[in-house]
Amino acid sequence: MRALGLLGQVDLPAQIAAVPRARRYVRDLLDGVDHPHTDDALLLLTELVTNSVRHSDSGRTPGGRVVAVAHHDGTLHIDVVDAGSVGRRPQVYLDTDPDSGGGRGLWLVQQLSTAWGWYETSAGRVVWFQLAGKVAP
């Protein structure tokens, strides 16, 4: 089994302006590996960073965001790390009002990713997703 190869990592402020910065950074990384699901990766990254800024304690206090991008045997793996939130956990909402402007982020992650999940670490909460596909060496 090959080791997980880190493509890059970036620390971003917990502000909505971090979303396009994260997208640019990851797009530049993925241009180098020619992943077939780059558009899906950027959409799902957008959802996770937006959720992180809006719903985690990082978005309510000074702090940063870490986006780590790695690949293993052709699978793209993206982590978004934040401070988490004591009262909230990532969950998929199935009954979102179709006229609302939100509430579908993790549903999209669930639908489009090969796998996704979240866990707590000493560094904070990690929400991740994977997209299978051939990644050039």
CATH number, domain containing residue 55: 3.30.565.10
Confidence of residue 126 (pLDDT cuts 50, 70, 90): very high
Confidence of residue 59 (pLDDT cuts 50, 70, 90): confident
Give the alpha-carbon dihedral of 83, 89, 91, 95, to 10 degrees.
Answer: -120
Contact 133, 35 (CB under 8 A): yes
Domain containing 74: what range?
A: 5-132
Tell me which amino acid residue 72 is. Answer: H
- Residue 128 corresponds to which tokens in the numbers above? 């991740």
Confidence of residue 2 (pLDDT cuts 50, 70, 90): very low
Stronger pLDDT, 136 or 33, i.e. the higher one: 33
Residue 135: pLDDT above 60? no
The pTM (predicted TM-score) of the whole model is 0.85
Among 71-75, 104-108, 122-126, 130-134, where is mean pLDDT lowest? 71-75
Q: Is residue 137 part of a domain?
A: no
Q: Is residue 106 part of a domain?
A: yes
Which DSSP symbol is given to 57?
G
Indicate the number of domains in the chain. 1
Stronger pLDDT, 111 or 1, i.e. the higher one: 111
Residue 95: pLDDT above 80? no
Cα separation, 109 vs 128, in Å, equals 9
Q: Is residue 55 part of a domain?
A: yes
- Label residue 34 left, alpha or beta by phi (over 0 means left) and psi (-120 to 50 means alpha): left
